[in-house]
Chains A and B, each alone.
Chain A
Amino acid sequence: AQKITQTQPGMFVQEKEAVTLDCTYDTSDPSYGLFWYKQPSSGEMIFLIYQGSYDQQNATEGRYSLNFQKARKSANLVISASQLGDSAMYFCAIFTQGGSEKLVFGKGTKLTVNP
């Protein structure tokens, strides 16, 4: 079975600074994808970034980058130049191709950006 662990229930960062949100995963499947979603207080799930297990380079999408360390089974999200609008819950999730085709989510990290 797949598992996602997010050990930071809450994080604080000053506006314009960078922040790293931790995510470790567990799977026995060699082929998988890792996702980060943002959930603002309004409730919707916003896709941020994806990393495939066979991707050679770390994924980047604008201010978001994924620090993928396969041997450590970690997929940390780095947000550069934080903005007030980044304050939200952030969920890490895994999808494995060999097993059932569903996303398994972590418990999330609540990020607060301070002015």
Chain B
Amino acid sequence: EPEVTQTPSHQVTQMGQEVILRCVPISNHLYFYWYRQILGQKVEFLVSFYNNEISEKSEIFDDQFSVERPDGSNFTLKIRSTKLEDSAMYFCASNPEGSSYNEQFFGPGTRLTVL
């Protein structure tokens, strides 16, 4: 069964450093998402991406964040200058079509720790 994959599973970085979180969505999917879950809290939407551009972003997704689909298979989330409060689990998700589906497929997540 196809699945969304994410690398790395755990990333530790120093405050102020740049990090890139990588995702490989399911191959025939069209919509891609990043979500964030701070430890012990609910899952929060960051950004959605369709047709090679951002379709929506949340208030959390400020200028420090960017997303890219560089080669048609990978979907990346970059944080330019990490802050302590960026420590969280980051989930990538994809689905085949945005308006009529019955599941948003989640990756296993990347746990980001900012020291």
- A: which residues have CB within 8 A of B? 33, 35, 37, 43-45, 47, 50, 52, 91, 93, 95, 97, 100-108
Contact = CB atoms under 8 A, between A and B. Distances in A.
B109 A45 contact: yes
A102 B106 CA distance: 13
Nearest to A44: B108
Nearest to A108: B42
Contact of B102 (A52, A103, A106): A52
Contact of B99 (A37, A101, A102, A103): A101
A107 B41 contact: yes
A103 to B, nearest CB: 6
Secondary structure at chain A's binding surface: helix, strand, loop or mixed?
Answer: strand
Contacts of A103: 33, 35, 43, 45, 93, 104
Contact of B42 (A33, A43, A106): A106
6 contacts: A33-B102, A37-B106, A43-B89, A44-B106, A47-B103, A105-B44
Nearest to B102: A50
A101 B55 contact: yes
Given A102-B33, A103-B35, A43 B45 contact: no
B48 A95 contact: no
Contact of A44 (B42, B45, B100, B109): B109
A102 B48 contact: yes
A95 B104 contact: yes
Interface string B23-54: 00000000101010000011111001000000
A43 to B, nearest CB: 5
Interface in B78-115: 89, 91, 93, 98-106, 108-109, 111
A33 B91 CA distance: 20
